[in-house]
Chain A
């Protein structure tokens, strides 16, 4: 089945540790996105990539990093510089950048202990 796969679904980390969230899509989409979801805050854009080997900061990029070495993969690293990393992270893709529907994965819930 075509879609977006995020892993892991649940992740716990200690303060000071970096953690990488995986996002893979087999939809042949050019654009991919990472959003952070906090209760009552909606979806806030962390990073986005319009095409492979290219990415741009979103509204809340501080403390995060990404790479886009392959069209189907867009991993997100939450670094120790992120002050409040506990959140629900959503990855999405679209056929092209700003061309319409976003397809979301089922999310990864990160808890910092």
Chain B
């Protein structure tokens, strides 16, 4: 089955700097790659997703890139703000298999 590895597990950046979180997946049949943000005591919320027919997608300060050949995808957050502090999860799915999540990255933005 699918296996998703996520790095780093924790990340601290200064306010205004960029943050990058990377994930790799194992199943070449996977074709959907979402990113979720979880704030303290709440459920995760989708922030951006990408499908396998696209190499990059942007939404204001966040972007996701996908390299299907290398089986990895990344989340980029530019001009980080304190409210970006949260736990971020990547995930992958394809065909008839449910989403498989990475173990999460705790991002701290230091003002």
What is A's interface to B at a CB cutoff of 8 Å?
4, 33, 35, 40-45, 48, 58-59, 90, 92, 97-98, 100-102, 104-107
Contact = CB atoms under 8 A, between A and B. Distances in A.
Given A43-B89, A98-B93, A101-B34, A107 B43 contact: yes
Contacts, number: 55
Q: Which range holds the interface residue count of chain B?
A: 20 to 34
A54 to B, nearest CB: 14
Chain B interface, DSSP helix/strand/loop, else mixed = loop
Interface stretch (B14-22, B70-78, B97-105): B97-105
A100 B32 contact: yes
Interface in B1-51: 1, 6, 9, 32, 34, 36, 41-46, 49
Taking each of B43, B44, B45, B101, which has the highest tally of chain A beta carbons within 10 Å of its own beta carbon? B43
A104 B43 contact: yes
Contacts of B104: 40, 42
